[in-house]
Amino acid sequence: MPIISLPEPDASLESSLRDAAEGRAWLANQTQVQPLRMLRALLKEIKAIDHCVSVPATRLELLDVLRPAVIQAQAGVAIRYAHKPLPLLRDEQEVFEQARDLWHALAIAYLRPIPLLPQQLVHQALHRGAVALRETLHSHFVAGIEVRPDFLCLLYDILITAEAQGLQRNRMADPDYPQLSQSTIAGDVTWSFLLVLSDPYRFSQAQFNVANRVFSRWCELASFQAEPSQDRHAKTISLAKWLGEDVVAEGKPQWLDVRPVVRKIRQRVDALQAGETPESLKLGRELTPAGCIRLMRELDHILRPQPKPLGDILDCDTVDLVFGNENLYLLLAGKPLLDHALSAQSSHISHDRLALFGFDNAANRIDHVKDECAPAEMWTVEDQWILRAAPDGGQVVAPLLVGIRPKGEESPQLAILIGLRQTNDGWLAANVRRLPSPPASALQKVAAVLPGVQAARQPLFLLPDDEAAGLSASICLPTGSGLRQGSLLALEESPVEHIRLGEVIERGSNFVRFAYGRT
Protein backbone atom coordinates (compact mmCIF):
# COMPACT_ATOMS: atom_id res chain seq x y z
CA MET A 1 0.00 0.00 0.00
CA PRO A 2 1.38 3.47 -0.87
CA ILE A 3 2.39 5.53 2.15
CA ILE A 4 0.37 8.70 2.67
CA SER A 5 2.60 11.53 3.84
CA LEU A 6 1.05 13.03 6.98
CA PRO A 7 2.28 15.61 9.52
CA GLU A 8 3.25 14.37 12.97
CA PRO A 9 0.46 14.46 15.61
CA ASP A 10 0.59 17.04 18.39
CA ALA A 11 2.08 15.13 21.33
CA SER A 12 1.23 17.93 23.77
CA LEU A 13 -2.52 17.23 23.57
CA GLU A 14 -4.37 14.60 25.60
CA SER A 15 -7.91 13.44 24.89
CA SER A 16 -10.35 12.25 27.54
CA LEU A 17 -12.33 10.35 24.88
CA ARG A 18 -11.55 6.69 24.32
CA ASP A 19 -14.55 5.36 22.38
CA ALA A 20 -17.78 6.34 20.63
CA ALA A 21 -19.86 6.24 23.83
CA GLU A 22 -17.58 8.78 25.51
CA GLY A 23 -17.75 10.89 22.36
CA ARG A 24 -21.55 11.03 22.52
CA ALA A 25 -21.43 11.96 26.21
CA TRP A 26 -18.89 14.70 25.48
CA LEU A 27 -21.08 16.15 22.71
CA ALA A 28 -24.12 16.13 25.01
CA ASN A 29 -22.24 18.39 27.44
CA GLN A 30 -21.19 20.94 24.78
CA THR A 31 -22.97 24.20 23.94
CA GLN A 32 -23.69 23.48 20.29
CA VAL A 33 -25.78 26.65 19.85
CA GLN A 34 -22.50 28.63 19.85
CA PRO A 35 -20.82 27.45 16.63
CA LEU A 36 -17.48 29.20 17.11
CA ARG A 37 -16.97 27.87 20.63
CA MET A 38 -17.99 24.40 19.43
CA LEU A 39 -15.59 24.59 16.49
CA ARG A 40 -12.67 25.45 18.77
CA ALA A 41 -13.52 22.63 21.17
CA LEU A 42 -13.79 20.13 18.29
CA LEU A 43 -10.47 21.27 16.81
CA LYS A 44 -8.66 20.67 20.10
CA GLU A 45 -10.38 17.32 20.69
CA ILE A 46 -9.81 15.90 17.20
CA LYS A 47 -6.13 16.85 17.27
CA ALA A 48 -5.88 15.09 20.64
CA ILE A 49 -7.67 12.00 19.29
CA ASP A 50 -5.16 11.87 16.43
CA HIS A 51 -2.40 11.48 19.03
CA CYS A 52 -4.09 9.43 21.77
CA VAL A 53 -6.59 6.98 20.25
CA SER A 54 -4.42 4.27 18.72
CA VAL A 55 -6.98 1.48 18.13
CA PRO A 56 -7.88 2.02 14.43
CA ALA A 57 -11.49 0.80 14.42
CA THR A 58 -12.28 2.63 17.67
CA ARG A 59 -10.80 5.82 16.24
CA LEU A 60 -13.04 5.65 13.16
CA GLU A 61 -16.15 5.10 15.30
CA LEU A 62 -15.24 8.04 17.53
CA LEU A 63 -14.56 10.35 14.58
CA ASP A 64 -17.86 9.33 12.95
CA VAL A 65 -19.64 10.37 16.16
CA LEU A 66 -17.98 13.81 16.14
CA ARG A 67 -18.29 14.38 12.38
CA PRO A 68 -21.93 15.65 12.32
CA ALA A 69 -21.03 18.22 14.99
CA VAL A 70 -18.07 19.33 12.86
CA ILE A 71 -20.34 19.87 9.84
CA GLN A 72 -22.88 21.79 11.94
CA ALA A 73 -20.24 24.03 13.54
CA GLN A 74 -18.60 24.73 10.18
CA ALA A 75 -21.94 25.77 8.69
CA GLY A 76 -22.47 28.15 11.61
CA VAL A 77 -19.12 29.96 11.37
CA ALA A 78 -18.77 30.16 7.56
CA ILE A 79 -20.66 33.46 7.48
CA ARG A 80 -17.84 35.03 9.50
CA TYR A 81 -15.23 34.66 6.72
CA ALA A 82 -16.94 33.61 3.47
CA HIS A 83 -17.16 36.12 0.59
CA LYS A 84 -15.72 38.99 2.63
CA PRO A 85 -13.60 41.89 1.33
CA LEU A 86 -9.87 41.15 1.21
CA PRO A 87 -7.63 41.27 3.09
CA LEU A 88 -9.67 39.66 5.84
CA LEU A 89 -9.88 41.46 9.15
CA ARG A 90 -7.96 39.89 12.02
CA ASP A 91 -11.04 38.24 13.58
CA GLU A 92 -12.18 36.95 10.18
CA GLN A 93 -8.72 35.56 9.44
CA GLU A 94 -8.60 33.74 12.78
CA VAL A 95 -12.01 32.14 12.26
CA PHE A 96 -11.06 31.06 8.74
CA GLU A 97 -7.82 29.48 9.94
CA GLN A 98 -9.62 27.59 12.71
CA ALA A 99 -12.30 26.35 10.28
CA ARG A 100 -9.65 25.30 7.75
CA ASP A 101 -7.55 23.60 10.44
CA LEU A 102 -10.57 21.66 11.76
CA TRP A 103 -11.36 20.16 8.34
CA HIS A 104 -7.68 19.37 7.80
CA ALA A 105 -7.28 17.83 11.27
CA LEU A 106 -10.36 15.66 10.66
CA ALA A 107 -8.89 14.42 7.36
CA ILE A 108 -5.54 13.62 9.01
CA ALA A 109 -7.22 11.78 11.88
CA TYR A 110 -9.13 9.57 9.42
CA LEU A 111 -6.10 8.86 7.23
CA ARG A 112 -3.44 8.07 9.86
CA PRO A 113 -4.65 4.55 10.86
CA ILE A 114 -5.14 3.36 7.24
CA PRO A 115 -2.10 0.98 7.16
CA LEU A 116 -3.61 -0.93 10.13
CA LEU A 117 -7.21 -1.17 8.88
CA PRO A 118 -8.99 -4.00 7.01
CA GLN A 119 -9.97 -3.14 3.44
CA GLN A 120 -13.61 -2.34 4.22
CA LEU A 121 -12.56 0.22 6.83
CA VAL A 122 -9.78 1.48 4.54
CA HIS A 123 -12.49 2.44 2.05
CA GLN A 124 -14.43 4.32 4.74
CA ALA A 125 -11.34 6.14 6.07
CA LEU A 126 -10.16 7.17 2.59
CA HIS A 127 -13.65 8.36 1.66
CA ARG A 128 -14.04 10.41 4.84
CA GLY A 129 -10.55 11.86 4.38
CA ALA A 130 -11.26 12.86 0.76
CA VAL A 131 -14.50 14.59 1.78
CA ALA A 132 -12.80 16.47 4.64
CA LEU A 133 -10.04 17.66 2.30
CA ARG A 134 -12.62 18.73 -0.26
CA GLU A 135 -14.23 20.86 2.44
CA THR A 136 -10.80 22.21 3.38
CA LEU A 137 -10.35 23.49 -0.17
CA HIS A 138 -13.91 24.83 -0.19
CA SER A 139 -13.18 26.96 2.89
CA HIS A 140 -10.18 28.45 1.03
CA PHE A 141 -12.24 29.23 -2.06
CA VAL A 142 -15.09 31.01 -0.25
CA ALA A 143 -12.62 32.95 1.91
CA GLY A 144 -10.56 34.01 -1.12
CA ILE A 145 -7.36 32.58 0.37
CA GLU A 146 -4.83 30.76 -1.80
CA VAL A 147 -4.76 26.97 -1.31
CA ARG A 148 -1.64 25.47 0.20
CA PRO A 149 0.10 23.05 -2.24
CA ASP A 150 0.36 20.27 0.36
CA PHE A 151 -3.44 19.97 0.45
CA LEU A 152 -3.51 19.04 -3.25
CA CYS A 153 -0.62 16.61 -2.77
CA LEU A 154 -2.52 14.90 0.05
CA LEU A 155 -5.58 14.56 -2.20
CA TYR A 156 -3.36 12.93 -4.81
CA ASP A 157 -1.98 10.51 -2.20
CA ILE A 158 -5.55 9.51 -1.31
CA LEU A 159 -6.30 8.82 -4.98
CA ILE A 160 -3.17 6.69 -5.44
CA THR A 161 -3.86 4.71 -2.25
CA ALA A 162 -7.47 4.06 -3.29
CA GLU A 163 -6.31 2.95 -6.74
CA ALA A 164 -3.74 0.56 -5.25
CA GLN A 165 -6.52 -1.05 -3.21
CA GLY A 166 -8.99 -1.08 -6.11
CA LEU A 167 -11.34 1.21 -4.18
CA GLN A 168 -11.31 4.39 -6.26
CA ARG A 169 -14.63 3.66 -8.02
CA ASN A 170 -16.43 1.84 -5.20
CA ARG A 171 -19.52 3.75 -4.15
CA MET A 172 -20.21 4.66 -0.53
CA ALA A 173 -23.21 6.35 1.04
CA ASP A 174 -22.42 9.25 3.35
CA PRO A 175 -25.05 9.64 6.11
CA ASP A 176 -23.83 13.16 6.90
CA TYR A 177 -24.29 14.35 3.28
CA PRO A 178 -27.55 12.64 2.22
CA GLN A 179 -28.11 15.19 -0.57
CA LEU A 180 -25.06 13.84 -2.42
CA SER A 181 -26.35 10.26 -2.56
CA GLN A 182 -23.56 7.70 -3.04
CA SER A 183 -20.13 8.90 -4.14
CA THR A 184 -16.71 7.46 -4.86
CA ILE A 185 -13.23 8.44 -3.72
CA ALA A 186 -12.23 9.22 -7.32
CA GLY A 187 -15.36 11.36 -7.70
CA ASP A 188 -14.67 13.39 -4.56
CA VAL A 189 -11.04 13.93 -5.58
CA THR A 190 -12.20 14.91 -9.09
CA TRP A 191 -14.70 17.39 -7.64
CA SER A 192 -11.86 19.10 -5.78
CA PHE A 193 -9.58 19.16 -8.82
CA LEU A 194 -12.33 20.50 -11.11
CA LEU A 195 -12.76 23.44 -8.76
CA VAL A 196 -9.00 24.02 -8.66
CA LEU A 197 -8.73 23.81 -12.47
CA SER A 198 -11.59 26.29 -12.93
CA ASP A 199 -9.82 28.91 -10.76
CA PRO A 200 -12.86 29.58 -8.51
CA TYR A 201 -11.50 32.93 -7.33
CA ARG A 202 -12.63 34.39 -10.67
CA PHE A 203 -16.30 33.78 -9.88
CA SER A 204 -18.83 35.90 -8.05
CA GLN A 205 -20.60 34.26 -5.12
CA ALA A 206 -23.58 33.27 -7.28
CA GLN A 207 -21.34 31.91 -10.04
CA PHE A 208 -19.29 29.90 -7.56
CA ASN A 209 -22.43 28.32 -6.11
CA VAL A 210 -23.61 27.23 -9.56
CA ALA A 211 -20.17 25.95 -10.64
CA ASN A 212 -19.77 24.00 -7.40
CA ARG A 213 -23.23 22.51 -7.88
CA VAL A 214 -22.58 21.28 -11.43
CA PHE A 215 -19.18 19.81 -10.51
CA SER A 216 -20.76 17.94 -7.59
CA ARG A 217 -23.20 16.33 -10.04
CA TRP A 218 -20.79 15.59 -12.90
CA CYS A 219 -17.52 14.80 -11.11
CA GLU A 220 -18.07 11.04 -11.48
CA LEU A 221 -18.01 11.44 -15.29
CA ALA A 222 -14.37 12.57 -15.42
CA SER A 223 -11.59 10.00 -15.20
CA PHE A 224 -7.92 9.92 -14.24
CA GLN A 225 -5.44 8.51 -16.76
CA ALA A 226 -1.78 7.52 -16.71
CA GLU A 227 -1.32 8.73 -20.31
CA PRO A 228 -2.94 11.55 -22.28
CA SER A 229 -5.56 10.55 -24.83
CA GLN A 230 -4.48 10.52 -28.47
CA ASP A 231 -7.93 11.54 -29.66
CA ARG A 232 -7.74 15.02 -31.16
CA HIS A 233 -11.10 15.83 -29.56
CA ALA A 234 -9.94 14.71 -26.12
CA LYS A 235 -9.76 17.13 -23.22
CA THR A 236 -7.13 15.72 -20.89
CA ILE A 237 -5.56 18.14 -18.42
CA SER A 238 -2.14 17.53 -16.88
CA LEU A 239 -2.05 17.30 -13.08
CA ALA A 240 1.67 18.10 -12.99
CA LYS A 241 0.93 21.81 -13.48
CA TRP A 242 -0.89 21.87 -10.14
CA LEU A 243 0.98 19.19 -8.19
CA GLY A 244 4.50 19.50 -9.57
CA GLU A 245 6.49 17.08 -11.73
CA ASP A 246 8.13 15.53 -8.66
CA VAL A 247 4.75 14.61 -7.10
CA VAL A 248 3.01 12.98 -10.06
CA ALA A 249 4.12 9.34 -10.02
CA GLU A 250 5.20 7.39 -13.12
CA GLY A 251 2.54 4.89 -14.13
CA LYS A 252 0.02 6.55 -11.82
CA PRO A 253 -2.74 9.04 -12.65
CA GLN A 254 -1.17 12.04 -14.37
CA TRP A 255 -4.03 13.34 -16.49
CA LEU A 256 -7.69 14.18 -15.90
CA ASP A 257 -10.06 13.56 -18.81
CA VAL A 258 -12.86 16.15 -18.55
CA ARG A 259 -14.46 15.60 -21.96
CA PRO A 260 -17.69 14.07 -20.53
CA VAL A 261 -18.03 17.05 -18.16
CA VAL A 262 -17.56 19.53 -21.02
CA ARG A 263 -20.19 17.64 -23.03
CA LYS A 264 -22.66 18.09 -20.17
CA ILE A 265 -21.82 21.79 -19.98
CA ARG A 266 -22.51 22.26 -23.69
CA GLN A 267 -25.79 20.36 -23.41
CA ARG A 268 -26.89 22.78 -20.70
CA VAL A 269 -26.03 25.75 -22.92
CA ASP A 270 -28.15 24.31 -25.74
CA ALA A 271 -31.05 23.66 -23.34
CA LEU A 272 -30.90 27.19 -21.91
CA GLN A 273 -30.86 28.69 -25.40
CA ALA A 274 -33.89 26.54 -26.25
CA GLY A 275 -35.85 28.15 -23.41
CA GLU A 276 -35.24 25.86 -20.43
CA THR A 277 -34.88 27.58 -17.06
CA PRO A 278 -31.83 27.14 -14.80
CA GLU A 279 -34.04 25.62 -12.09
CA SER A 280 -35.45 22.98 -14.43
CA LEU A 281 -31.86 22.01 -15.32
CA LYS A 282 -30.92 21.82 -11.60
CA LEU A 283 -28.54 24.77 -11.90
CA GLY A 284 -30.26 26.69 -9.10
CA ARG A 285 -31.89 30.09 -9.12
CA GLU A 286 -28.88 32.32 -8.37
CA LEU A 287 -28.30 33.27 -12.03
CA THR A 288 -30.56 34.31 -14.89
CA PRO A 289 -30.65 32.11 -18.01
CA ALA A 290 -28.28 34.54 -19.77
CA GLY A 291 -25.97 34.50 -16.73
CA CYS A 292 -25.97 30.70 -16.68
CA ILE A 293 -25.13 30.56 -20.38
CA ARG A 294 -22.16 32.88 -19.87
CA LEU A 295 -20.94 30.83 -16.89
CA MET A 296 -21.29 27.51 -18.74
CA ARG A 297 -19.36 28.90 -21.71
CA GLU A 298 -16.67 30.19 -19.39
CA LEU A 299 -16.36 26.74 -17.77
CA ASP A 300 -16.14 25.23 -21.25
CA HIS A 301 -13.19 27.49 -22.08
CA ILE A 302 -11.49 26.93 -18.72
CA LEU A 303 -11.57 23.12 -18.83
CA ARG A 304 -9.09 22.83 -21.67
CA PRO A 305 -5.47 21.65 -21.76
CA GLN A 306 -4.32 25.20 -22.60
CA PRO A 307 -6.98 27.63 -21.33
CA LYS A 308 -6.79 31.31 -22.14
CA PRO A 309 -5.24 33.27 -19.23
CA LEU A 310 -7.67 35.23 -17.11
CA GLY A 311 -7.46 38.99 -17.55
CA ASP A 312 -5.37 41.25 -19.77
CA ILE A 313 -1.59 41.57 -19.80
CA LEU A 314 -0.62 45.16 -19.00
CA ASP A 315 2.47 46.55 -20.69
CA CYS A 316 3.83 48.39 -17.65
CA ASP A 317 5.57 47.76 -14.34
CA THR A 318 2.90 49.34 -12.14
CA VAL A 319 -0.72 50.38 -12.59
CA ASP A 320 -2.67 53.04 -10.69
CA LEU A 321 -6.16 51.76 -9.85
CA VAL A 322 -9.02 54.11 -8.97
CA PHE A 323 -11.73 52.78 -6.63
CA GLY A 324 -15.22 54.09 -5.87
CA ASN A 325 -17.90 55.52 -8.17
CA GLU A 326 -17.24 59.14 -7.18
CA ASN A 327 -13.54 58.76 -7.93
CA LEU A 328 -14.33 57.03 -11.23
CA TYR A 329 -16.51 59.99 -12.18
CA LEU A 330 -13.67 62.35 -11.28
CA LEU A 331 -11.30 60.24 -13.41
CA LEU A 332 -13.50 60.38 -16.51
CA ALA A 333 -15.22 63.77 -16.15
CA GLY A 334 -12.22 65.66 -14.79
CA LYS A 335 -14.32 67.28 -12.06
CA PRO A 336 -15.70 66.16 -8.70
CA LEU A 337 -19.21 64.79 -8.44
CA LEU A 338 -20.21 66.81 -5.38
CA ASP A 339 -20.48 70.59 -5.21
CA HIS A 340 -18.49 71.76 -2.22
CA ALA A 341 -20.13 75.20 -2.04
CA LEU A 342 -21.73 76.03 1.29
CA SER A 343 -25.47 75.52 1.55
CA ALA A 344 -27.94 78.24 2.47
CA GLN A 345 -28.26 76.76 5.96
CA SER A 346 -24.69 77.84 6.75
CA SER A 347 -24.95 81.38 5.36
CA HIS A 348 -24.30 82.95 8.77
CA ILE A 349 -21.01 81.04 8.98
CA SER A 350 -20.18 82.32 5.50
CA HIS A 351 -20.78 85.94 6.60
CA ASP A 352 -18.58 85.47 9.68
CA ARG A 353 -15.75 84.11 7.54
CA LEU A 354 -16.06 86.98 5.07
CA ALA A 355 -15.90 89.52 7.90
CA LEU A 356 -12.87 87.89 9.51
CA PHE A 357 -10.79 86.63 6.58
CA GLY A 358 -12.10 88.54 3.58
CA PHE A 359 -13.20 85.35 1.80
CA ASP A 360 -15.56 82.48 2.55
CA ASN A 361 -13.87 79.20 1.67
CA ALA A 362 -10.29 78.81 0.47
CA ALA A 363 -11.40 76.05 -1.88
CA ASN A 364 -13.71 78.50 -3.69
CA ARG A 365 -11.14 81.27 -4.29
CA ILE A 366 -10.34 81.86 -7.94
CA ASP A 367 -6.61 81.82 -7.19
CA HIS A 368 -6.84 78.46 -5.39
CA VAL A 369 -5.38 75.58 -7.41
CA LYS A 370 -7.63 72.52 -7.10
CA ASP A 371 -6.28 69.00 -7.38
CA GLU A 372 -8.62 67.28 -9.84
CA CYS A 373 -6.56 64.08 -10.00
CA ALA A 374 -8.50 61.00 -8.92
CA PRO A 375 -6.88 59.22 -5.94
CA ALA A 376 -5.45 55.82 -6.81
CA GLU A 377 -3.61 52.81 -5.40
CA MET A 378 -0.43 51.59 -7.08
CA TRP A 379 -0.35 47.85 -7.86
CA THR A 380 2.64 45.95 -9.24
CA VAL A 381 2.23 44.21 -12.61
CA GLU A 382 3.63 40.71 -13.22
CA ASP A 383 2.49 39.08 -16.48
CA GLN A 384 -1.33 38.98 -16.29
CA TRP A 385 -1.28 39.49 -12.50
CA ILE A 386 -1.45 42.68 -10.50
CA LEU A 387 -0.19 42.55 -6.91
CA ARG A 388 -0.38 44.65 -3.77
CA ALA A 389 0.85 44.01 -0.25
CA ALA A 390 -2.28 43.22 1.77
CA PRO A 391 -1.78 45.94 4.45
CA ASP A 392 -0.93 48.69 1.91
CA GLY A 393 -4.46 49.76 1.06
CA GLY A 394 -8.14 49.32 1.70
CA GLN A 395 -10.22 46.18 1.52
CA VAL A 396 -11.29 44.99 -1.92
CA VAL A 397 -14.14 42.73 -2.99
CA ALA A 398 -14.30 41.36 -6.53
CA PRO A 399 -15.60 41.47 -9.21
CA LEU A 400 -15.11 45.23 -8.93
CA LEU A 401 -15.41 48.12 -11.39
CA VAL A 402 -12.17 50.13 -11.23
CA GLY A 403 -10.47 52.85 -13.21
CA ILE A 404 -6.95 52.86 -14.63
CA ARG A 405 -5.42 56.28 -14.12
CA PRO A 406 -3.45 57.27 -17.21
CA LYS A 407 0.23 58.02 -17.33
CA GLY A 408 1.41 60.78 -19.62
CA GLU A 409 -0.84 61.39 -22.62
CA GLU A 410 -2.86 58.18 -22.28
CA SER A 411 -6.62 58.23 -21.79
CA PRO A 412 -8.32 56.88 -18.66
CA GLN A 413 -9.85 53.41 -18.86
CA LEU A 414 -12.38 51.35 -16.96
CA ALA A 415 -11.73 47.72 -16.07
CA ILE A 416 -13.12 44.86 -14.02
CA LEU A 417 -10.92 43.61 -11.17
CA ILE A 418 -11.38 39.82 -11.14
CA GLY A 419 -9.76 36.69 -9.73
CA LEU A 420 -8.90 38.38 -6.43
CA ARG A 421 -7.18 36.21 -3.83
CA GLN A 422 -4.96 36.57 -0.79
CA THR A 423 -1.69 34.68 -1.15
CA ASN A 424 -0.05 32.68 1.60
CA ASP A 425 2.81 35.19 1.80
CA GLY A 426 0.59 38.21 2.50
CA TRP A 427 -0.19 39.72 -0.91
CA LEU A 428 -3.39 40.49 -2.78
CA ALA A 429 -3.26 39.10 -6.32
CA ALA A 430 -5.83 39.78 -9.02
CA ASN A 431 -6.39 40.19 -12.75
CA VAL A 432 -7.90 43.09 -14.66
CA ARG A 433 -10.10 42.86 -17.73
CA ARG A 434 -10.20 46.17 -19.54
CA LEU A 435 -13.60 47.35 -20.76
CA PRO A 436 -14.21 48.85 -24.22
CA SER A 437 -12.70 52.29 -24.72
CA PRO A 438 -13.25 55.15 -24.59
CA PRO A 439 -15.64 55.15 -21.60
CA ALA A 440 -17.85 58.15 -20.86
CA SER A 441 -19.36 59.39 -17.62
CA ALA A 442 -22.97 60.47 -17.14
CA LEU A 443 -25.29 61.52 -14.33
CA GLN A 444 -28.75 60.48 -13.26
CA LYS A 445 -30.78 62.51 -10.79
CA VAL A 446 -32.09 60.49 -7.85
CA ALA A 447 -35.15 61.90 -6.08
CA ALA A 448 -34.50 63.19 -2.57
CA VAL A 449 -35.87 61.14 0.31
CA LEU A 450 -36.63 64.16 2.53
CA PRO A 451 -38.40 67.38 1.46
CA GLY A 452 -36.14 70.39 1.13
CA VAL A 453 -33.07 68.25 0.46
CA GLN A 454 -31.42 68.65 -2.91
CA ALA A 455 -31.71 65.63 -5.23
CA ALA A 456 -28.58 63.51 -5.38
CA ARG A 457 -26.71 62.87 -8.60
CA GLN A 458 -25.74 59.29 -9.33
CA PRO A 459 -22.74 58.60 -11.60
CA LEU A 460 -23.14 56.19 -14.51
CA PHE A 461 -20.56 54.98 -17.02
CA LEU A 462 -21.20 54.39 -20.72
CA LEU A 463 -19.17 51.91 -22.76
CA PRO A 464 -19.01 51.64 -26.57
CA ASP A 465 -19.61 48.48 -28.61
CA ASP A 466 -17.39 45.51 -27.75
CA GLU A 467 -16.84 43.88 -31.14
CA ALA A 468 -14.42 41.26 -29.77
CA ALA A 469 -17.03 39.94 -27.32
CA GLY A 470 -19.93 40.51 -29.71
CA LEU A 471 -21.62 42.95 -27.31
CA SER A 472 -23.40 46.17 -28.17
CA ALA A 473 -23.04 49.43 -26.24
CA SER A 474 -23.48 49.02 -22.48
CA ILE A 475 -23.77 51.04 -19.29
CA CYS A 476 -22.47 50.38 -15.76
CA LEU A 477 -24.86 51.35 -12.96
CA PRO A 478 -24.12 51.27 -9.23
CA THR A 479 -25.49 48.27 -7.36
CA GLY A 480 -28.74 48.91 -5.54
CA SER A 481 -30.04 51.37 -8.13
CA GLY A 482 -33.31 49.44 -8.39
CA LEU A 483 -33.25 49.58 -12.20
CA ARG A 484 -33.83 46.53 -14.35
CA GLN A 485 -34.30 45.44 -17.94
CA GLY A 486 -36.76 47.73 -19.71
CA SER A 487 -36.22 50.73 -17.41
CA LEU A 488 -36.04 54.16 -19.09
CA LEU A 489 -33.31 56.60 -18.09
CA ALA A 490 -32.81 60.30 -18.76
CA LEU A 491 -29.11 61.16 -18.50
CA GLU A 492 -27.28 64.42 -17.89
CA GLU A 493 -23.82 65.42 -19.10
CA SER A 494 -23.92 62.40 -21.38
CA PRO A 495 -23.36 61.76 -25.09
CA VAL A 496 -26.68 59.87 -24.98
CA GLU A 497 -29.71 61.60 -23.44
CA HIS A 498 -32.39 58.89 -23.25
CA ILE A 499 -31.87 55.12 -23.08
CA ARG A 500 -33.77 51.92 -22.37
CA LEU A 501 -31.92 49.23 -20.40
CA GLY A 502 -31.49 45.82 -22.02
CA GLU A 503 -30.38 42.53 -20.49
CA VAL A 504 -27.86 42.28 -17.67
CA ILE A 505 -24.40 41.49 -19.07
CA GLU A 506 -22.55 41.04 -15.78
CA ARG A 507 -22.70 41.95 -12.12
CA GLY A 508 -20.05 42.89 -9.61
CA SER A 509 -19.74 44.06 -6.05
CA ASN A 510 -20.22 47.73 -6.99
CA PHE A 511 -21.84 47.67 -10.45
CA VAL A 512 -24.39 46.10 -12.75
CA ARG A 513 -23.59 46.23 -16.45
CA PHE A 514 -26.59 46.47 -18.79
CA ALA A 515 -26.89 46.50 -22.54
CA TYR A 516 -28.92 49.52 -23.66
CA GLY A 517 -30.65 51.05 -26.64
CA ARG A 518 -31.33 54.68 -27.50
CA THR A 519 -34.89 55.98 -27.29
pLDDT per residue as tens digits for the range 328-346:
999 999 888 875 434 444 5
Sheet holding 512-518, edge to edge: 440-446, 456-463, 474-477, 512-518, 498-507, 488-490
pLDDT score of 371 = 55
Domain limits, the chain = 1-188, 318-336+361-434, 440-518
Q: Which of 85, 87, 139 is nearest to 398 (CA)?
A: 85
pLDDT score of 233 = 76
- How many Å is the Cα radius of gyration of the chain? 28
- How far apart are alpha carbons 84 and 395 in whole angstroms? 9
For residues 388 and 380, is the Cβ–Cβ distance under 8 A?
Answer: yes
Q: Which of 257, 249, 246, 164 is nearest to 218 (CA)?
A: 257
Distance of CA 166 to the CA centre of its chain: 35
pLDDT score of 119 = 82
- How far apart are alpha carbons 308 and 333 in whole angstroms? 34
For residues 412 and 404, is the Cβ–Cβ distance under 8 A?
Answer: yes
For 428-481, the pLDDT digits (tens) are: 999 999 999 999 999 986 655 556 555 677 899 999 998 777 778 999 999 988
**Element holding 152 (H helix, E strand):** helix 149-164
pLDDT score of 364 = 52
- How far apart are alpha carbons 109 and 60 in whole angstroms? 9
Label residue 396 left, alpha or beta by phi (over 0 means left) and psi (-120 to 50 means alpha): beta
Relative to beta strand 182-183, strand 498-507 is: unpaired
For residues 91 and 79, is the Cβ–Cβ distance under 8 A?
Answer: no
- How far apart are alpha carbons 146 and 423 in whole angstroms? 5
Q: Which of 75, 185, 167, 182 is nearest to 130 (CA)?
A: 185
Which regions of the chain are under pLDDT 50? Answer: 340-345, 366-369
For residues 363 and 309, is the Cβ–Cβ distance under 8 A?
Answer: no
pTM for the structure as a whole: 0.88
